[in-house]
Structure 1
Amino acid sequence: MSNDMSYTTEEIAKLLKISKLTVYDLIKKGELPSYRVGKQMRVDAADLEAYKQRTRMSAAAVQPVEAQAAASVHATVTSGTTRSLVITGHDLALDIMAKHMEQTITGIRPLRSFVGSLDSLISMYKGEADIVSTHLLDGDTGEYNLPYIRKLLVGSSYLVVNLLSRNAGLYVKQGNPLQLKQWSDLSRPGLKLVNREQGSGARVLLDEQLRLHGIKSEQLVGYNNIQSNHLGVATKVASGEADVGVGIEKAATIVGQVEFIPLIQERYDLVMLNTPSNRSWIPALLQILQSDSFKKELQSIPGYDLSRTGEILLET
């Protein structure tokens, strides 16, 4: 087995003759070190071989691998073994939250995954994420997140908690020479757009507004000009490569040389599966979100509304 090789979770499942869910469980518990390439989790051949050697040397090696993994779930919580928790999303508040978790919750290791809102919920459904962040507008109801969560996590028990609210709108050139003021202005002929990737909250916001205002995406020059984060979109507008983009206020203050037109306040929520193993750390995370020390750090960042931070919005 070459140490230069790596395997997907599907390949690991076939090699070990176990289910993909068991592979994800081993990864989450830190027994199989992994990393993400795009949207795919991968495990290096050397780490897989090391895991196999450990299981052979253990007293329980005579059991099937699947049975070992299932039997060790309780031991992982009680023996002090560190469990990795995958946190998805792009916002700086998530990095601050992960830092607080690492400092105050024993037995866990927060891992950040920079994935958009819709893909985050899909990754949770597939068992690839533990805490997902989402800011998805349902244009028909004006509701954020809950309509998508109910559809994608059908049959699951979960907890939805507010992280913060923030302004979203348009990035325009300094001085706003085209006088863009509202969503309907995107229908102007020749307007050059810079967009976000499919599955991101900003892309869903744009697509919903285009639908509600009867604007076809084909009308927009640059609709397929994609950036992977808010800073990238704001930078393209600031440099003059695009006339307009959709994003959040904070990125405009960081980039400079670009103006922000606020058009909607979006709710940015966290979702966690309400499972027995997660209940060992969920109460501690709620304490962090509701703590003065956490909110004080977020208050130093412009554009955040923390009036509902830590509030449980839905529990199933």
Structure 2
Amino acid sequence: MEHPQRRPLLWLDQNAVLVRFATRARGLVLGQSITGITAMPDLRGRRVVPRQPDSGSDVLFRQLADRAGLALSDMVLTDIARTETEAVQAVARGEADATLGLHSVAQDFGLPFVPLIDERFDLLVNRRAWFETPMQRLMTFCQSEAMATRAERMGGYDLTGLGTVRWNA
């Protein structure tokens, strides 16, 4: 018998499919006049907008900082931002030098962006629902020129392989 702590997140007896959706670029959003930041270690001594404790962005930021050998105490942390937009707004107003954010949001504010990771988004769908008309209509739209144009205009999104079944229980 398999050890319960080593069980995969998706067990083979589930009636589901995992379908590729998109990837998006996440990295450092910089203030308009900020230079010299090309990677996480360059945040040493810089003003950084943190996100609320235990949020996904906070957890990721801490992991990236740890991997780069950067302690939170090495940075000047500003007031906590509750949303992605709030964090980028603080950078845009000059209240901080950088924050962890999305390429698309940096682009919306006309701010420089340093890519760090690509986040992959897949859809976990009930296998039966996958073949139903509403789901197929959604996937048809998602594979349309309109969707591709929107993703390109937003910036930082890649729809390559959209609709590819990555796992089938």
The two structures have a TM-score, normalised by structure 2, of: 0.74
CA contact under 8 A between 2:151 and 2:158: conserved in structure 1?
no
CA contact under 8 A between 1:170 and 1:246: conserved in structure 2?
yes
Residue 196 in structure 1 maps to residue 54 in structure 2: no
Distance 1:255 1:314, change over 3 A: same
CA contact under 8 A between 2:40 and 2:64: conserved in structure 1?
yes
Q: Which has the larger radius of gyration?
A: 1
Give the secondary-structure state (helix, strand or coil) at the position aligned to 2:112.
strand
Give 1:314 deviation, angstroms: 2.3
State how far apart, in whole Å, the 2-side matches of 1:172 and 1:283 are.
Answer: 40
Give the secondary-structure state (helix, strand or coil) at the position aligned to 2:77.
coil
Distance 1:173 1:293, change over 3 A: closer
Give 1:247 deviation, angstroms: 0.8
State how far apart, in whole Å, the 2-side matches of 1:226 and 1:296 are.
Answer: 30
Give the secondary-structure state (helix, strand or coil) at the position aligned to 1:226.
coil
State how far apart, in whole Å, the 2-side matches of 1:223 and 1:279 are.
Answer: 48
Give 1:293 deviation, angstroms: 4.0
Distance 1:309 1:196, change over 3 A: farther
Amino acid of the residue matched to residue 29 of structure 2?
Y
Amino acid of the residue matched to residue 154 of structure 2?
I
**Pick aligned residue for 1:167 from 17, 25, 28:** 25
**Pick aligned residue for 1:310 from 163, 166, 169:** 163
Gaps of 5+ in 2: 1-7
**Pick aligned residue for 1:301 from 131, 154, 159:** 154
Give 1:228 deviation, angstroms: 1.3
Give the secondary-structure state (helix, strand or coil) at the position aligned to 1:193.
strand
Give the secondary-structure state (helix, strand or coil) at the position aligned to 1:184.
helix
State how far apart, in whole Å, the 2-side matches of 1:302 and 1:277 are.
Answer: 31
Distance 1:275 1:163, change over 3 A: closer
Give the secondary-structure state (helix, strand or coil) at the position aligned to 1:251.
helix
CA contact under 8 A between 2:29 and 2:88: conserved in structure 1?
yes
Distance 1:173 1:226, change over 3 A: same
Identity %: 26
- For residues 210-234 of structure 1, the C-alpha deviation after alignment (integer angstroms, 9 at most, x for no partner) is 22123333444327712312x2221
Give the secondary-structure state (helix, strand or coil) at the position aligned to 2:50.
strand
CA contact under 8 A between 2:78 and 2:96: conserved in structure 1?
no
Equivalence for 2:65? 210
Equivalence for 1:249? 103
Instruction: Write the mapping of 1:1-316 to structure 2, written as runs, cut at 5 A.
Output: 150-151=8-9, 156-177=14-35, 179-186=36-43, 188-189=44-45, 191-197=46-52, 198-200=54-56, 202-222=57-77, 225-229=80-84, 231-256=85-110, 258-272=111-125, 274=126, 276=128, 280=132, 281-316=134-169
State how far apart, in whole Å, the 1-side matches of 2:63 and 2:113 are.
Answer: 20
Give 1:236 deviation, angstroms: 0.6
Give 1:175 deviation, angstroms: 2.7
State how far apart, in whole Å, the 1-side matches of 2:18 and 2:62 are.
Answer: 24
State how far apart, in whole Å, the 2-side matches of 1:172 and 1:241 are.
Answer: 11
Q: Higher relative CO (CA 8 A, sep ≥ 6), structure 1 or 2?
A: 2
Gaps of 5+ in 1: 1-149
CA contact under 8 A between 1:193 and 1:225: conserved in structure 2?
no
Amino acid of the residue matched to residue 248 of structure 1?
L
Distance 1:312 1:277, change over 3 A: closer
